[in-house]
Amino acid sequence: MQLITYQGPQSPRVGLMTAAGIVDLGYTDMVQFLSEPDWRERAQAARSMAPQLSGARLLAPVTRPGKLIGIGLNYSDHAAESGMAVPTQPILFAKFTNAITGPYDPILHPGPQLTSKLDWEVELGVVMGRKCRRVSREDALSYVAGYTVVNDVSARDLQMFDGHWLKGKTCDTFAPMGPVLVTSDEIPDPQNLPLTLHVNGEQMQAGNTARMIFSVAEIISFLSHLMTLEPGDLIMTGTPPGVGMGRRPQVWLGVGDVIRCEIPGIGFIENRVELD
């Protein structure tokens, strides 16, 4: 199933995307919907309903997760291109909800006075489907609602300035995501997904989640022993090699550039850089 958040006449709406169009699920917030114990059954029942509309503007599937957690350096070849050691446990950072933007909305460049090193990172996003605390690696995937595509946009000069990654990671629109939330039953193995990223049509990243240092299940288990994960919480699981920072010479995003991130089976997001 493909869950979406789309722009309704007065407010965002949660829907089910079908081949014939969109079925409204009766909620204005994905976190609220995923907090219902029977959300899977409700979505499944909606598949037999006639769609109410098509062609609506898609928003990020989860517009206001309680937590937006990033995993750094989770591909060994990305760690190598970044000149950093392979981590022995997941490296964590956070973004805030102001960073979230839709699958086809612009990425706002903060301007040269703040950053001259704007970079891209295609990632698999994992959305939690139920409360999760101190779970084993073996049980971890049963807590997942589904998966989406995320671009972990990063201002490298801000990120690396003093060792605190936060200010380089969570500027407005630095987390485009979507286009849909594919439920976990349709992706039984999240460790076998190809990821690609193109800038202005040129391929910059190509990888596979099989190359993760820490699997999705390991990440969830690790996080759940540090904090309680809630329905709608979103985890960005790291990026494969090919980021602008790792290239020789380095390459940075500029105003007018178009970035396309894609994971087959989920879809693609495409965002143009505009000056804020």
Q: Write out pLDDT tens, residues 5-56.
A: 999 999 999 999 999 999 999 999 999 999 999 999 999 999 999 998 888 9
| Amino acid in position 263 | I
What confidence tens digit (pLDDT) does each residue in 59-88 have?
999 999 999 999 999 998 787 777 778 899
The fraction of the chain above a pLDDT of 90, given in percent, is: 91
Q: What domains sit in the chain, N to C, each tagged with a CATH number?
A: 2-59 (no CATH), 68-275 (3.90.850.10)
- Residue 263 forms beta bridges with which residues? 267
Q: Which amino acid is at 176?
A: P
pLDDT score of 121 = 98
**Tell me: the pLDDT tens digits for 100-144?**
999 999 999 999 999 999 999 999 999 999 999 999 999 999 999
Residue 249, number of CB atoms within 10 A of its CB = 5
CB atoms < 10 A from the CB of 211, how many? 16
| Contact assessment for residue 214 and residue 75, using Cβ atoms and an 8 Å cutoff | no
Phi, psi torsion values for 208, nearest 5 degrees:
-145, 140
- Predicted confidence at residue 141, as pLDDT, reads 98
pTM: 0.96
SS3 of residue 223 by DSSP: helix
Per-residue tokens: 248: 């020789």
The tokens 């006449």 sit on which residue?
A: 9
Q: What are 90's two structure tokens?
A: 């997941």
Q: How far is CA 131 from its chain centroid?
A: 19
Q: Are 71 and 238 in contact (CB under 8 A)?
A: yes
